[in-house]
Amino acid sequence: MQKRPKLSVVIPCYNEEQCLEMLHSRVSGAARAAVGDDYEIVLINDGSRDKSWEVMQRLSAGDPRLVAINLSRNHGHQLALTAGLDLCSGDEILIIDADLQDPPELLTDMRAAMRSQGADVVYAVRRKRDGETIFKKITAAFFYRMLDKITDTPIPLDTGDFRLMTRRALDAFLSLPEQARFIRGMVAWVGFKQVPFPYDRHERHAGETKYPLGKMIRFALDAITGFSTAPLRFASHVGLILTGLSALLVLYIVAGWLMGAAIPGWTSLMLVVVVLGAVQMFVLGMIGEYLGRLYVESKRRPLYIVADVAGPVMGHASLGY
Ligand code: UDP
Ligand code: MG
């Protein structure tokens, strides 16, 4: 049987052909500086439409430490990352983005932090974010704070998936079967000792963000529904308040009728119809978000499908199904 490497670096890639060579050389340098030759790099091609897979195959042919996994289509960042985490085999696992916004050279210091604090997870916290739009920074800052308020699991603020984990933390994480995956939250849920590691986020090496607004909203909804039932509680609170208000309204209406002054009131009538309609749709939509996810989970489909593998894979090798 092959031996597990000391370190696996897992990197999901979607249309990153311009980043891959630089990524490979910087990650290899950082890994070598940290653990010598005893590492593997796991690249996951998440159905890229550019030449990412060709580049990965070429890189893997020239580097026995590089494993490239080609998913059957674009499954999305969190599922691509899950595929890599499933298939990697190291004792320690570093998760990093392909665009080099997170410097791989921090690995040595992250490992030192892991050892000195006896931690199972060292998660990188963004002190500064270069090269990202004001809109993204504001929405992200708001989102993480709101999430923190409504979740029962404390999820660290301003933290992406860039983190170093031990094998036991990863194995615990891999036991969570859900389809709608908010990985940074799931890792937090797993527990063990988790410590922050502040760093400055850089600009993308090349290309542009693969998270347009639509994907960001979906990601945020996965996070909220995956980690909190606060919106459902909110729905029942709104229902309760509206019930109270409508009781008052009933008294008012009956009193008006008894006094024979029931006809005027188009404005108030319309207000009630419009407001109630809107609140009902909103609450229904919220319930729908949960219901839809329940439906997706109930199908128990595999999380991802692997099409091809280049290089030596020895991880769980379940290939997702
Ligand atoms: N990514 C992916 N599949 C997708 C979208 C993104 O594998 O459908 C990868 C992408 O290649 C990158 C990481 O996920 O390595 C984070 O994406 P990106 O850098 O575009 O997000 P941002 O940093 O702008 O939030
Ligand atoms: Mg990025």
Taking the C-alpha atoms of residue 298 and residue 283, their distance in angstroms, rounded to an integer, is 23
Unique residue bearing structure tokens 């409504």: 150
Nearest to 303 by CA among 278, 286, 321, 279: 321
Contact (Cβ atoms closer than 8 angstroms) between residue 25 and residue 208: no
Cα 97 to ligand 2 centroid, rounded to whole Å: 6
Provide the pLDDT for residue 262. Answer: 65
Q: Which atom of ligand 1 is nearest to the CA of 14?
A: 11
β-pairing verdict for 66-71 and 306-310? antiparallel
Cα 58 to ligand 2 centroid, rounded to whole Å: 23
Identity at 306, one-letter amino acid code = V
Predicted complex ipTM: 0.95
- For the record, the structure tokens of 274 come out as 């419009």
What number is the average pLDDT over the span 215-233? 87
Identity at 5, one-letter amino acid code = P
Contact (Cβ atoms closer than 8 angstroms) between residue 99 and residue 20: no
Chain length of the chain: 321
Under DSSP, is residue 201 helix (H, G, I), strand (E, B) or coil? Answer: strand
Q: Which of 103-117, 240-254, 305-319 has the highest mean pLDDT?
A: 103-117
Q: Which atom of ligand 1 is nearest to the CA of 210?
A: 20
The pLDDT tens digits of the residues spanning 9-40 come to: 999 999 999 999 999 999 999 999 999 999 99
Cα 159 to ligand 2 centroid, rounded to whole Å: 13
Provide the pLDDT for residue 112. Answer: 96
Identity at 172, one-letter amino acid code = A
210 lines ligand 1 (CB under 6 A): yes
Cα 22 to ligand 2 centroid, rounded to whole Å: 15
Q: How far is CA 288 from the centre of its chain?
A: 21
99 lines ligand 1 (CB under 6 A): yes
52 alpha carbon, closest ligand: 1
- What is the residue with the minimal CA distance to atom 2 of ligand 1? 77
46 lines ligand 1 (CB under 6 A): yes
The pLDDT tens digits of the residues spanning 144-188 come to: 888 888 888 888 888 889 999 999 999 999 999 998 899 999 999
The pLDDT tens digits of the residues spanning 232-260 come to: 888 888 888 888 888 888 888 888 778 87
Q: Which atom of ligand 1 is nearest to the CA of 216?
A: 25
Q: How large is the C-alpha radius of gyration of the chain?
A: 25
- What is the residue with the minimal CA distance to atom 19 of ligand 1? 209
23 lines ligand 1 (CB under 6 A): no
Cα 234 to ligand 2 centroid, rounded to whole Å: 33
77 alpha carbon, closest ligand: 1
What number is the average pLDDT over the span 190-213? 88
Provide the pLDDT for residue 1. Answer: 52
